[in-house]
């Protein structure tokens, strides 16, 4: 079994956010707009350019998904964070810095008692992130 985060963007920023995440993480990006869906399957009340579904698939099968949420209140995402772990500490720091650019750092990326590197932030789209260096020998 696997968990795959699905993010809802109530501010209509899904396309911009996933384009940025694709720049940060790489992988394969797919974006389906409301206009791409059959007329009877579209998100009610959403504009044609609203994102019905976006996905980034990384090598190894990691998957991040999301969409615009036309029923959302525009508030911040609360009570959850997307965690990204990687064994390469230089790449982990690069990813953390890219995600936190234009956002807010909660905990700067640095060594902790549980990891060679860990940081938490809320990105410019309101998504809380935790980035950590994972032990390559754990498993």
For residue range 105-129, what is the model confidence (pLDDT) as tens digits? 999 999 999 999 999 999 999 999 9
- Nearest CA to 136 out of 83, 89, 94 is that of 89
Distances (CA, A) of 73 to 11, 31, 63, 70, 82: 8, 23, 26, 9, 20
Element (H, E) at 20: helix 14-25
The two structure tokens encoding residue 136: 């390559």
Per residue in 54-88, pLDDT (tens digit) is 999 999 899 999 999 877 766 677 889 999 999 99
- Going along the chain from its start, the domains and CATH numbers come out as 6-68 (3.10.180.10), 82-133 (3.10.180.10)
The two structure tokens encoding residue 116: 């060679």
Q: How far, in whole angstroms, is CA 86 from its chain's centroid? A: 15
The reported pTM is: 0.91
Q: Which residue has the tokens 């935790």?
A: 130
Q: Which residue has the tokens 């959302």?
A: 72
- Positive/negative CA dihedral, 112, 18, 98, 60: positive
pLDDT given at position 138: 59
pLDDT given at position 74: 66
- Nearest CA to 54 out of 72, 23, 88, 29 is that of 29
CB count in 10 Å sphere of residue 19? 13
pLDDT at 20 over 90: yes
């Amino acid at each position: 079994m696997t968990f795959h985060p699905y993010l809802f963007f109530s501010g209509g920023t899904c396309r911009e956010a996933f384009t940025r995440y694709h720049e940060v993480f790489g992988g394969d990006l797919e974006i389906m707009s409301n206009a791409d869906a059959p007329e009877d399957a579209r998100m009610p009340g959403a504009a044609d350019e609203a994102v019905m579904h976006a996905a980034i698939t990384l090598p190894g099968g990691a998957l991040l998904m999301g969409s615009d949420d036309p029923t959302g209140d525009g508030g911040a995402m609360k009570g959850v964070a997307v965690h990204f772990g990687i064994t390469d500490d230089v790449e982990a720091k690069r990813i953390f810095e890219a995600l936190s650019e234009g956002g807010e750092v909660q905990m700067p990326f640095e060594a902790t008692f549980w990891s060679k590197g860990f940081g938490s932030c809320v990105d410019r789209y309101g998504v809380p992130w935790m980035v950590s260096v994972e032990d390559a020998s754990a498993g």
